[in-house]
Structure 1
Amino acid sequence: MAPYEALYRKRCMTPLCWLKPREDLTLGTEVVQQTTEKVELIQERMRIAHSKQYSYQDKTRKDLEFEAGDHVFLRVTPWTGYIHDPPHVIELDNIQVKENLTYEILPLRIEDRRTKHLRGKEIPLVKVIWGGASGQDATWELESQIRVAYPSLFESGKFWGQNF
């Protein structure tokens, strides 16, 4: 059997092999034997790799069980005339995603102010209320950075009863 046939189990029908079927090739039996052994080794290793991949797939697959009334997310391709049940539809938040797959949460208001004393320095901080998809979060930020990034928050009436 020719090396190509041993590897692919069919005759070579491409211009890469210029031999006609049943044409004798003057190769030593040692070369043919070595090639056949290498092809068999490659096939065996491919079977082992396939078996390992298949076993990994089975380990990561989980059978899921649901009960009546459970809420689940489904990926559905809309059809023409697709009728949905409004109580089961979850509205998505309007989030503007940037090209680097991040999104910006904008500040709603400044709720409080304090000064932190650190090694003889006074660091002015403001408590910022952020609005986002998950509701509202509050963080303490450097007042100087917030003034530069969001100057409109320091206009009269925007800060929790105080003017700056």
Structure 2
Amino acid sequence: MKIAQSRQKSYADKRRKKIEFAVDDHVFVKVSPVKGVLRFCKKGELSPMFIGLFEVLEKIGTLAYRVALSPMLAGMHNVFHISMLRKNMSNPSHVLNYDPLQLSPNMSYEERPTQIRDRQERSLRIKVIQIVKVK
């Protein structure tokens, strides 16, 4: 039994990453999605695995961090184990540019294709399906 435990520990140690956060870092918090339950405005499989972008307030011990949660999550404990946190890797090139939408008076808009990017034909046993990629 002792040999098996040491073998498993050696496997775990090789895969473990040394992660540390500094005060004022921004992190995501891991939440466990529950099937069929409405959580964070999404239901079931579509519910997010990580939420927010929260600031680290302080380090507690070697493996715990206190995080500044939003007022919406005031009922949640604000100290998390390091395995429940993911670092935000901000990259300025990932900023999305968007065009302002032309809204009608009833707050709706009409999407129109601007360009056909690709055409393909997929053949099944009996029929052929045309697939068109539109921008």
Same fold (TM over 0.5): no
Question: TM-score when scaled to structure 1?
Answer: 0.24
Larger helix fraction of residues:
1
More strand by share: 2
Larger Rg: 1
Bigger relative CO (Cα 8 Å, ≥ 6 apart): 2
